[in-house]
């Protein structure tokens, strides 16, 4: 009898070893041998239940019926198929700037989630596509992060598209498991994604054979002119094309007084706002850091940042100035 028990224990150990190897091979670089050994040991110790697929069973640490609210990137492994990796991003200190298209985008999408019955009444899929464009630093990424926080706070999830084909497969899997989960899919720098992977899977996700229901697609780009008209002039793919410009006077005042409390309600705040015309949120942040942390004057800080905006750095020397070391 003990021989049989030993056989079962050996079989179980072998299964755990195989499962651990498959998972660790995907997560830990091959050359990092110590981390692989440590991870395998911990994983095998934590495996406590079976994951069932059809008539197949595999050891797993835990099983859940739904993804926790959060941000995810779909990935693929030949061993386990499509899976979702959670992104660890702090969304707690975001500001929604007033008097901005970002504010209107968030309000529009918040309203979209209340429209299911109307979409169903007309026989349409309950989905929306919005493309955000504007110069670098205008706040497109911040708008996306604010949107992500909004959907996560409602118990939904945000999926970032890195590889369109894998993302499309992941969305199909997600909708089979969680058909009613609020979902936002983000294409950051969609022109770069299309340049690397092509348009086929992106178009199939938006309104083709791979589309899903109960979803908002949001894309960002600095260069809308690089995109084919099939994307920028085709409602049902991207229904609205919205420019996110630099923060307005009201938005700059709001940001500065919330990030630098000593300016609140002062004439100095008005002065800062006037000096920062055309500044992005990143430039406003650097203004505060430069003045408050490095004791620079507000004038010299603003002047330096304006030069950064106006001048494109180049490593090519010209006759007017010397860059780097002088050859002897």
- Both 145 and 264 in one domain: the answer is no
Instruction: Say what the pLDDT of residue 141 is.
Output: 87
Residue 284 falls inside a structural domain: yes
- Both 218 and 301 in one domain: the answer is no
Boundary residue ending a domain (243, 265, 281)? 243
- Both 120 and 232 in one domain: the answer is yes
Range of the domain at 215: 101-243
Boundary residue ending a domain (194, 221, 243)? 243
Boundary residue ending a domain (218, 243, 268)? 243
Instruction: Say what the pLDDT of residue 10 is.
Output: 45
Alpha-carbon distances, residue 189 vs 35, 82, 131, 186 (angstroms): 34, 23, 10, 9
- Both 47 and 151 in one domain: the answer is no
Q: Which residues pair with 132 in a beta bridge?
A: 220, 242
Torsion of CA 111, 243, 285, 160, to 10 degrees: 60
Instruction: Say what the pLDDT of residue 328 is.
Output: 39
Instruction: Say what the pLDDT of residue 41 is.
Output: 58
Tally the domains of the chain: 3
Residue 90 falls inside a structural domain: no
- Both 128 and 232 in one domain: the answer is yes
Instruction: Say what the pLDDT of residue 202 is.
Output: 92
- Both 237 and 282 in one domain: the answer is no
H helices within 126-280, ranges in order?
A: 140-153, 164-177, 190-197, 200-207, 229-232, 249-259, 267-275
Query: What span, in angstroms and rounded, lies between the C-alpha atoms of 128 and 118?
Result: 13
Per-residue pLDDT of the chain (328 residues; tens, 9 = 90+): 444 444 434 444 455 455 556 555 655 556 665 655 565 555 556 656 777 777 766 667 777 888 899 999 999 887 778 889 988 766 556 777 776 788 889 999 999 999 999 999 999 999 999 999 998 888 898 899 889 989 999 999 999 999 999 999 999 999 989 999 999 999 999 999 999 999 988 998 998 888 899 999 999 999 999 898 888 888 889 999 999 988 999 999 999 999 999 999 899 999 999 999 999 888 999 999 999 999 999 999 999 999 988 776 655 655 554 434 344 3
- Both 210 and 283 in one domain: the answer is no
Instruction: Say what the pLDDT of residue 327 is.
Output: 42
Instruction: Say what the pLDDT of residue 42 is.
Output: 57
- Both 109 and 19 in one domain: the answer is no
- Both 36 and 111 in one domain: the answer is no
Handedness of CA 184, 237, 169, 166 (dihedral sign): negative
Q: Residue 234: give its domain's CATH number.
A: 3.40.50.300
- Both 24 and 120 in one domain: the answer is no
Handedness of CA 110, 105, 180, 235 (dihedral sign): positive
- Both 154 and 128 in one domain: the answer is yes
């Amino acid at each position: 009898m003990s021989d049989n028990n030993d056989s079962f224990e050996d079989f179980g150990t072998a299964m755990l070893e195989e499962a651990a190897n498959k998972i660790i091979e995907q997560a830990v670089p091959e050359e990092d041998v110590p981390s692989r050994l440590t991870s395998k040991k911990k994983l095998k110790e934590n495996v406590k239940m079976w994951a069932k697929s059809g008539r197949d069973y595999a050891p797993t640490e835990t099983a859940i019926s739904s993804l926790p609210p959060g941000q995810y990137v779909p990935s693929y492994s030949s061993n386990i198929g499509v899976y979702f990796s959670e992104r660890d991003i702090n969304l707690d200190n975001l500001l929604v700037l007033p008097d901005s298209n970002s504010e209107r985008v968030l309000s529009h999408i918040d309203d979209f989630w209340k429209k299911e019955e109307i979409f169903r009444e007309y026989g349409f899929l309950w989905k929306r596509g919005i493309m955000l464009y504007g110069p670098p630093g205008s706040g497109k990424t911040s708008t996306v992060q604010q949107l992500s926080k909004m959907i996560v706070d409602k118990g939904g999830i945000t999926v970032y598209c890195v590889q369109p084909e894998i993302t499309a497969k992941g969305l199909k899997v997600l909708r089979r498991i969680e058909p009613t989960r609020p979902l936002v899919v983000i294409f950051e720098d969609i022109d770069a994604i299309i340049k690397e992977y092509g348009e086929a899977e992106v178009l199939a996700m938006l309104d083709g054979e791979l589309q899903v229901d109960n979803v908002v697609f949001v894309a960002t780009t600095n260069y809308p002119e690089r995109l084919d008209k099939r994307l920028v002039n085709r409602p049902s793919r991207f229904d609205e094309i919205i420019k996110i410009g630099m923060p307005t006077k009201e938005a700059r005042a709001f940001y500065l007084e919330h990030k630098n409390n000593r300016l609140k309600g002062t004439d100095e705040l008005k002065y800062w706002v006037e000096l920062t015309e055309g500044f992005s949120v990143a430039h406003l942040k650097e203004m505060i850091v430069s003045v408050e942390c490095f004791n620079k004057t507000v004038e010299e800080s603003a002047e330096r940042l304006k030069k950064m905006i106006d001048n494109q750095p180049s490593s090519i020397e010209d006759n007017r100035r010397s860059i780097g070391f002088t050859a002897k």
